[in-house]
Amino acid sequence: MSQIVSRLTPYFEQLKKRLPAGFNSSLVLPCLRRIQEERGFVADEDITALVTYLGVPRMQVEQVLSYYTQFRRKPIGRWHLQVCHNVTCSMRGAEHALDLLQKRLHIKSGQTTTDGRFTLSTVECLGSCGTAPVVMVNDTYHESMTGMKLDALLESLK
């Protein structure tokens, strides 16, 4: 039984109230997001508990978790560094930004540092092209990045 789902049930009930009747299925994404905020990922027991709570088919939740890039079923590092490598960011140095981070952290994109502090990955357009290149750290956009700003950023992330 997922302790996290039990603990979050009052919050889910609040969400339910704000939706019209018959919209239980819609709660899948917001509930998964909230669970992931708590645990850092969505565990198998969370899926089982959520399926029971919402009354949706288990396969629906499994498909949603695999389809959307922001959901994960395994934990990652404390700081998730996502470097946008889409058009404008590439035109304004994304490759350099990624190179620098790979060098500093001694990992390749897609990996996590051995101390569990950083996970590095690339990401598609974040809707911040005006302040390219952009690195997303957990939920926050770090815009107009330069080499120096990246070093300062790494320093600041404990």
Partner 1 sequence: MTGAKWIMNFPVTATSHSLADYRARGGYETLQKVLTSMKPDDVTKEVTASGLLGHGGAAFPVGRKWAVIKPNDGQPHHLCANADEGEPGTFKDRWVLEHAPHLLLESMLITSYAIGCRHSFVYIRGEFDLPYRRLQAAADEAYEAGYFGERIFGTDFSCDVFVYRGAGSYVCGEASGLLTSIEGKKGYPRNRPPRLTVKGLYQRPTVVNNVETLANITGIVARGAETFRKMGTAKSPGTQLVSISGHVNKPGVYEVEYGYPLAKFIYEDCGGMLGGNKLKALIPGGISTKVLTGDDVAPLTYDHASFDGAGSSLGSGGMIAIADGTCMVRLLQVMLRFYHHESCGQCTPCREGMGWMHRIIDRIVAGKGVPEDIERLIAISNANDGTTICGMGDAAGYATVGFIAKFRDEFEYWIEHKRSKVGGALEVQGTWHA
Partner 2 sequence: MPDFFINGQPVHAERDQTVMQAALAAGFFIPYFCWHPNLSVAGNCRICVVEVEDPKGGNWVEIACNMPVSEGMRVLTDSDQVRERRKETLQMILLNHPVDCGICDKAGECTLQDYHYQYYGARSVSLDAKVHATKFHPLSERVVLDNERCILCSRCVRFTNEVSKTHSLGIQLRGDHSLVRASEDGAFASDPYSDNVIDICPVGALLSKNFLYKSRVWYLKATPSVCPGCERGCNVDVWHRKPEWKLNALDPKQNSAIARVTPRENAQVNGPWICNKGRDLAQIFERPRAEQSMLKGKAVELAAAVDAARRLIEGAKKPVALVSSWASNEEFAAFQRALGERLVSFVKADWLPQPGERVEDDVLIKADKNPNTRRARELFGPALPAFTAETDLVLVWGEGCNFAELPRGVKVIYLNSYLAPENGHADVFIPISVQTERAGSYTNFAGTVSSFSACFAKKPAVAHAQELFARLATQSKVVA
Which residues contact partner 1 (rule: CB under 8 A)?
18-20, 22-30, 32-33, 56, 60, 63-64, 67-71, 85-88, 90-93, 95-97, 123-133, 136, 139-141, 146-148
Angle at 61 between CA 122 and CA 70, to 5 degrees: 15
Contact 126, 134 (CB under 8 A): yes
- CB 58, min distance to partner 1, A: 13
Residue 37: closest CA among 138, 116, 110, 120: 138
Identified binder of partner 2 from the candidate list 7, 23, 52, 57, rule CB under 8 A = 57
If the CB atoms of residues 75 and 147 are measured against partner 1, the closer one turns out to be 147
**Considering beta carbons, is residue 36 or 101 the nearer one to partner 2?**
36
* Binding flag, residue 60, partner 2 (CB under 8 A): yes
71: left (phi over 0), alpha (psi -120 to 50) or beta: beta
Select the binding partner of residue 71 from partner 2, partner 1, none (C-beta < 5 to 8 A, by kind). partner 1
- Residue 122: HSE in the Cβ half-sphere, 13 Å Cα cutoff: 15
Minimum CB distance to partner 2 smaller for 60 or for 138: 60
* Minimal distance, residue 44 CB to partner 2, in Å: 7
Strands 79-84 and 140-142: unpaired
Q: Which is nearer to partner 1, 14 or 156 (by Cβ)?
A: 14
User: What sign results for the dihedral spanned by CA atoms 23, 24, 25, 31?
Assistant: positive
| Binding-residue pattern over the window 12 to 51 for partner 2, x denoting contact by CB under 8 A | --------------------------------x--xx---
Helical residues (DSSP H) of the chain, grouped into ranges: 3-17, 28-39, 44-54, 58-67, 87-91, 94-105, 147-156
